[in-house]
Structure 1
Amino acid sequence: MAENLDNIVDSDGTIKQDRQENNSTTDEKVPVTRGRIHQFKLYDVAEYELVLIEKGSDASLWLNFAIAFLSTFFSMLAALITLNPAGKETAFIILTLITVVSCFGGILCSVFWWKTKGTQEDIFKTIRSRINDGR
């Protein structure tokens, strides 16, 4: 599958394409325009770093749960504030329980999100620092 580049590109910069039409081979030239880059950096990446990059960060998952819990908390808090508890003790207890659980869940997920939000950037900084450190 890996052909020699000389077999693909002519000296004038055009690409040769071989097509078979009725068992005959014809060469067709396609012009190629190439934009040169000034510098090309190549980074060594360890296997465990690739695994961490593939896995991705858990931060977005924690943020989604935190938003869901806090949305529930504020909705239930509004319902709790506007509820007249006279004769509705069961509803009051259920709303209070949901409000407290969603508040703690939202705070806990927010803390987990805050702690894990920079893990991907740390991996990329470590990889990029290998060129700056000269390792």
Structure 2
Amino acid sequence: MAKEEALMNNQNEHSGDKPFKIKRGRVDSLSLYEITEHELVILENGSPFSLYLNFSLLLLTTATSFLISLLTITIDSDRTYTTFVILVVVGYVLGILLGIIWWRTRQSVSEITKRIRNRIPPEEQAEAENPTDQESASEGESAANKQNQADA
């Protein structure tokens, strides 16, 4: 034990870090949720299927702009006119297909979090939020309040 204290004091002297004060408020209960790697990736980046939506919107707006160009100006070259028509048709077809794929495969972050929260039954969550021993909880809160007032 003495060796550990000497080692810790030695490390503190060489680290140059100043000691810091830790303030802690008491928590009556804590709910831990386990999540899968896939769920974590979705929470970090959003659904990977949102890329379908992005390309769908890109293609639909591009097709719309080319359609407006076809309807508002006169194009003398047949090759340019054909290119614009092909871009409009391909843009709308692919945009609609990607939009349908996105609609069928979408998973929102709120759905994922709802699924994670449902892993703890609502009865257990209610018990954790409302402890049965109210007296000990109020004693703990008053002790924490006194400690916080003393620290301030």
TM-score (norm 2): 0.58
Question: In the alignment, does 2:13 pair up with 1:20?
Answer: yes
Instruction: Decide whether the 8 Å contact of 1:57 with 1:116 is kept in 2.
Output: no
Q: Secondary structure at the match of 1:124?
A: helix
SS at match of 1:101: helix
CA distance in 2, matches of 1:40, 1:29: 28
Asked if residue 109 in structure 1 is aligned to residue 98 in structure 2, the reply is: yes
Specify whether residues 117 and 36 from structure 1 end up closer, same or farther in structure 2 by C-alpha distance, changes over 3 A only.
farther
Give the partner amino acid of 1:94. T
Q: What's the offset of the Cα at 1:52?
A: 4.3
Q: 1:89 aligns with which of 78, 87, 97?
A: 78
- Structure 2 matches for 1:1-135, cutoff 5 A? 18-21=11-14, 29-45=19-35, 49-54=36-41, 57-85=47-75, 87-118=76-107, 120-132=109-121
Task: Tell me the secondary structure at the aligned position of residue 30 of structure 1.
Answer: coil
Greater relative contact order (Cα < 8 A, sep 6+): 2
Q: Residue type matched to 2:98 in 1?
A: C
Mapped to 2, the partners of 1:17 and 1:61 lie a distance apart of: 54
2: distance between equivalents of 1:17 and 1:117? Answer: 56
Q: Which has the higher helix share?
A: 2
Q: Distance in 1 between matches of 2:37 and 2:123?
A: 21
SS at match of 1:31: coil
Aligned residue for 2:120, secondary structure, equals helix
Task: Write the letter of the residue equivalent to 2:85.
Answer: T
Structure-1 residue corresponding to 2:148: none
Residues 66 and 17 of structure 1, relative CA distance in 2, 3 Å threshold:
farther
More strand by share: 1
Cα offsets for 1:59-97 (capped at 9, x unmatched) = 321121112111211110111112324x42221111000
Other-structure match for 1:4: none
Give the equivalent residue in structure 1 for 2:134.
none
Distance 1:70 1:110, change over 3 A: same
Deviates more, 1:29-38 or 1:59-68: 29-38
Give the gaps of 5 or more residues in structure 1: 1-6, 8-15, 22-27
